[in-house]
Amino acid sequence: MRKILSICLSIITLSLFSQNFVSTTAENKNVILEEFTGISCGFCPDGHAIAQTLNNANPNDVFLINIHTGSYANPQGPGTDFNTSFGAAISNLSGTCGYPAGTVNRIDFSSQGLNQTSSSGCVATTAMSRGNWTTATNQTLSESSYINVAAQATIDVTTRVLTVIVETYYTGTVPQGVTNNINVALLQNNIPGPQSGAANYNPSGIIPGPWNPTYNHQHMLRHLLTGQWGEAIPVSSGFWTDTYTYTIPSNLNGVSFDLFNLEVLVFAAEGQENIITGNKASLSYNVPPGTNLIDMSASTSMVMPSSYCDNNITPKITVSNNSNIPIDTFEVSYVLNSNNPVTQSVYNSIPAGGNSTISFPAITVPSGTNNISYSVNTMNGSSYVDSISNNNLVSSGEFNLLSNTPFSTTFTESFDNYTPGQAILNNGLIENPNNTNTYVVDNSVNSNVNWALGGYGNSPKSYRFRFYQGWNTNDQVTMLWEKVDFSNSSNNEMSFSYAHAVQNSWDNSKLQVLVSLDCGNSWNEASVLVGGNLSTVSGAVSGGHFYPSSTDWQTHTVDLSDYDGESDVNIALRATYNGGNNLYIDDVNVSAQQISNTSNLENKFSIHPNPTRNQIIIEDGKFISVKVYNIYGKLVLNQKSNNRKININHFKSGVYHLNINTGKEIIIKKIIKIE
């Protein structure tokens, strides 16, 4: 835990800035490396590490801007939207073909073969894959610049006004017809958030501790003070200066602005592209007398649900005072999913180095995937300024809940009512703890696929476990439905269509059908398909994504009759990756065979003795299995054979129903057990 540094911050005003601080000596170019990244991009942490290595080796010459944009930057919940209104245009200008990508000074290196390409035929304009950033950076650093740039910035901690003085000095000749644009970028460091691939490619970026989120995002673009492409400056042979101001809001897209973790970069470009050079601004703070700099941090001791059906929650936040003075005025709040914040004002004193836990009123949490985000903040009008606000947020982490009440006795799922790219489930949920690639697809996922991706080609959509890319060994995704009621049905079963291809003979991915009678506290495996038994095509499919044709599908049927008579049945499909190409699921159906007690076949069966003390005998017909239910509909015997003698000696006296399965239908006979 970081503590407030015991330093004396002087009151700084704009008049203290010394003018003409820009160098007038001819220099080589500095590098602005813009990385296009996203929290769901598994290889992006490797790009972060490569860029940081370049910055560490050239701390005064290489400057980083991490731009969250594209589908990999889609938010995963409150506090995870790291996009800006500027990122998409910058990425589009570069012609990004995949993530992570990066530009070095927005220069086109295609003549040297460094530009990014993709298997789909995309050729980037200035974007490069991460393996080429070092070469492009070293080359750019060796080139001379005809302009020097520098900046000095100050932040007033009470008004939150950022003031940036920019200076340029021309040391060489500007190419004929070129317009120079000055860009001022506001970045933020040490933003906690989720990040795929962090453990594999940049473990040093993971924040230690049990709380979520877990990745420490750096150099994140937050705002451009000079607009999308900068402001044109007069091309001259000497000195130029201007001043820019920006009132920093409390947050952007729900992500707090931490005044004490900001950095300002300034760079000069030729129009929108070809950045000539850039620099990092010195940054100072204006702290008026009477202002108390403090550090509050948030954690939570909220008791997590004990099962999927435990939906009563008491939100709790623990506030720690990491300052060297007491704090007696602040506010705490929580947000359930994307609902409105619930806020409490707190006037209880927390001593220096102490903490306090605040409980909110209990709430009922809805079915589905949930998250509770907590925050602690200073109160408007107080003398406190929290100097380290990036530790003011904490999340409960995602937790999944299901209704305690069965939603049906049967159900079907075709996935045709979902938007491609969605990972949600009607009357259920998708558990994806490792944030792997899995979602509903249609043939828009690949422009070369012109056939339907639904089961047997009969529908446009299916659900895909995208094993081919972004999964690690033993990653699991579970498709879990709410309770169904089998209390009045017999011979229940589940069927679904599936398509899968292995990549190598040793691939051993599996698909399980799981059943629970205690709302997911424990699971029984009703069926499993593993490795080659899961594959629906002959041979291995490697070198690209597997997209099934209409002949690549099979149907799997699972006997769920062991759960006949049960009123609270949860069913799940669980996919586990252990090599292999993509797995598709469609046409899920849970139902019971038709039950009849009026069939003409009924007269072919005679039951005797009836009433009986010990056993009954079935005669005059063919059957494959027998089940016996008590008068409450509970299954008390399941005989999976055509043995005609049924022992009921251990039954209590009373009326029972004998269900005779002929293979085509169920014949019901009433029997009486006597003492």
Whether 54 and 184 share a structural domain: yes
pTM passes above 0.75:
no
Residues 190-237 pLDDT 10s:
998 999 999 889 999 998 754 455 899 999 999 999 999 999 999 877
Write out the DSSP string of 527-564.
EEEEGGGT--SSS---SS-----GGG-EEEEEE-GGGT
Let me know if residue 205 belongs to a domain: yes
Cα within 13 Å of Cα(49), Cβ side? 17
Cis peptide before 611 (omega within 30 of 0): yes
Let me know if residue 245 belongs to a domain: yes
Whether 18 and 134 share a structural domain: yes
Whether 209 and 350 share a structural domain: no
Decide: 159 and 245 in contact? Cβ < 8 Å: no
Whether 426 and 359 share a structural domain: no
Let me know if residue 6 belongs to a domain: no
Handedness of CA 634, 638, 644, 646 (dihedral sign): negative
Whether 565 and 490 share a structural domain: yes
DSSP state of 228: T
Q: Report the pLDDT value the prediction gives residue 273, as an integer from 0 to 100.
A: 95
Let me know if residue 8 belongs to a domain: no
Residue ranges in 177-288 assigned as alpha helix (H): 198-201
Whether 274 and 257 share a structural domain: yes
Let me know if residue 475 belongs to a domain: yes
Whether 281 and 147 share a structural domain: yes
Q: Report the pLDDT value the prediction gives residue 593, as an integer from 0 to 100.
A: 62
Specify the residue for token string 């029972």: 656
Whether 582 and 602 share a structural domain: no
Domain, as residue range, for 327:
292-398
CATH code at position 27: 2.60.40.10
Pick the last residue of a domain from 286, 319, 343: 286
Angle at 256 between CA 254 and CA 259, to 5 degrees: 155
**Average pLDDT taken over every residue of the chain:** 90
pLDDT of 389 over the 70 cut: yes
- Among 196, 197, 190, 194, which residue's Cα sits nearest to residue 219? 190
Residues 140-158 pLDDT 10s:
999 999 999 999 999 998 8
**What whole-number distance in Å separates Cα of residue 485 and Cα of residue 410?**
8
Pick the last residue of a domain from 226, 256, 286: 286
CATH code at position 480: 2.60.120.200
Residues 176-188 pLDDT 10s:
999 999 999 999 9
Mean pLDDT confidence for 340-368: 95
Whether 585 and 474 share a structural domain: yes
CATH code at position 618: 2.60.40.3080
Whether 47 and 123 share a structural domain: yes
| Total number of domains constituting the chain | 4
Cα within 13 Å of Cα(385), Cβ side? 20
Residue 87 backbone dihedrals phi, psi, to 5 degrees = -65, -45
**What whole-number distance in Å separates Cα of residue 286 and Cα of residue 299?**
30
Let me know if residue 197 belongs to a domain: yes
DSSP state of 261: G
Pick the last residue of a domain from 286, 321, 353: 286
Whether 62 and 209 share a structural domain: yes
Let me know if residue 668 belongs to a domain: yes
Let me know if residue 1 belongs to a domain: no
Whether 610 and 476 share a structural domain: no
